[in-house]
Amino acid sequence: MTMPLMRPKRKNPVLRTRQMNLPPGSRGRIALGMTAAAAEGRFELQTCEDCGAVQYPPREACHKCLSPRLHWREQSGEGELLATTTLHHSNDLFFRERLPWRLGLVHLDSGPTLMVHMHGEVGDAPARVRVGARLDRAGQAVLIGFPNEGSAHMADDKMLREMTSDPKFRKALVTDGKTEVGQAIVRALVKAGADIVWVGHAEPWKKLGGLEDITALPQVTLVPLDLTNGRSVSELAGEIGGKVDIVINNAEVHRTFGIGARRGTDVAKAEMDINYFGLLRLAQEFGPALKGRSADGVTGATAWVNLLSIYALANFPPHGTFSASKAAAYSLAQCLRAEMRPAGIRVINVFPGPIDDEWNQHMPPPKVAPGALANAIVKALRDGVEDVYPGDVAQEWLERWRDNPKVLERELAAGG
């Protein structure tokens, strides 16, 4: 059974700051299919379309019939643990600093035999285990053996915490606390065990509903933050940038209509100023601080979360300029992810469908409740994924987009 994680001691500011060592990150192009699935929380292996064989490691041809018709298919991960071993020495810098490290050999019910990292609650062989795929600190897929029935403190496992961004005992910044979504995120982080939650407020003189409730929580501190003002972002980064472990950028401007229904560019500029340039200002100020603290142990800086929209994948004409601003933010988030990965910081993009808020009043159900969206963000942090699509609309939209983006564009233009 995993022992509950104890609150770590404060970092000694006199000691040298450790630099992040990443696990080996080299992968062939074929193997990146497993990484793409793990980024969304799935464990997939290659399956032959001709003979049905499931294979690992990934190859260009089936190991049984040599067919090139291989497709990635989700696996249950159920299997038999054949043997385990514990490493006490490693020439790799990442593993050398984290020894001892336990590995196991698992024969999946679907056929392949895998070498996997072992969760601490898995006993000695033989035993039934469940294999899952996670992203390591280098952003590459690795395989982990889990017990079929774990304890309430499974997430506190030392090895698993290396692969995830669990908010427990960490300090988070939520950039906008005036919305229902922002307040739900704050409550979810507190419930998940966050040590401190700083909540941004662009207009602190306004008395908005719900703010008093969340600021009454002992873990919550309200801070001035206006993403349209570079000085505001810079001053806050100077004050708390060296302490933040998780940045959650949920600030956004959302207006309806497309191009011809509104004169001028003022609304579109306001959307871009927050949704795109706000993210850029935040990344320029807080990004270097997070990268500098990514090796501070179990409570080091670990994640950056962007609240985007499923409209970022394909423009939704009734919300046309908003969709365009989110598409720009999505592109910028991909750049941010590439720059943060060498420091082991995970950038998580959240693509919800219509949220049950004032800007989607005329949208028919189903819509994503703020609480459900907040729980999806916390789950993404705990599971160590990169892309999340909360809500039925987002899931359906994603499936149609992957099937044929041009068909989806035509359907949306026709109102479907």
Q: How confident is the model at residue 12 (pLDDT cuts 50, 70, 90)?
A: low
Lowest mean pLDDT among 191-200, 300-309, 407-416: 407-416
Interval 81-108 mean pLDDT: 93
Interval 265-282 mean pLDDT: 96
pLDDT at 154: 85
Taking the C-alpha atoms of residue 225 and residue 374, their distance in angstroms, rounded to an integer, is 20
Lowest mean pLDDT among 42-46, 166-170, 208-212, 388-392: 208-212
Taking the C-alpha atoms of residue 345 and residue 342, their distance in angstroms, rounded to an integer, is 8
Q: How confident is the model at residue 198 (pLDDT cuts 50, 70, 90)?
A: very high
Up-side HSE of residue 70: CA atoms within 13 Å toward CB?
Answer: 24
pLDDT at 405: 95
Q: How confident is the model at residue 5 (pLDDT cuts 50, 70, 90)?
A: confident
Largest CA distance in the chain: 70
Torsion angle in degrees (nearest 10) through CA of 25, 160, 8, 24: -10
Residue 43's contacts (CB-CB under 8 Å, 6 or more residues apart) are 37, 74, 75, 77, 131, 132, 133, 143
Q: How confident is the model at residue 156 (pLDDT cuts 50, 70, 90)?
A: confident
**Among residues 240, 236, 217, which one has the least CA distance to residue 171?**
240
* Cα distance from N-terminal residue to C-terminal residue, the chain: 50
Reply yes or no on whether the pLDDT at 282 is more than 90.
yes
Interval 292-304 mean pLDDT: 84
pLDDT at 13: 67
**Among residues 31, 226, 7, which one has the least CA distance to residue 139?**
31
Interval 230-250 mean pLDDT: 96
Reply yes or no on whether the pLDDT at 204 is more than 80.
no
In CATH, the architecture of 171-413 is 3-Layer(aba) Sandwich (3.40)
Cβ contact 226:249 at 8 Å: no
Cβ contact 303:378 at 8 Å: no
Torsion angle in degrees (nearest 10) through CA of 206, 210, 215, 219: -140
Reply yes or no on whether the pLDDT at 17 is more than 90.
no
273 exposure class (CB count in 10 Å sphere: 0-12, 13-18, 19+): middle
Cβ contact 310:352 at 8 Å: yes
360 exposure class (CB count in 10 Å sphere: 0-12, 13-18, 19+): middle
The three-class DSSP label of residue 258 is coil
More confident residue, 400 or 208: 400
pLDDT at 24: 86
Residues of the chain with CATH 3.40.50.720: 171-413
pLDDT at 223: 95
Taking the C-alpha atoms of residue 235 and residue 289, their distance in angstroms, rounded to an integer, is 13
Task: Please write the tens of the pLDDT for every residue from 159-195.
Answer: 888 889 999 999 999 999 999 999 999 999 999 999 9
40 exposure class (CB count in 10 Å sphere: 0-12, 13-18, 19+): middle
Cβ contact 104:84 at 8 Å: yes
pTM for this prediction: 0.93
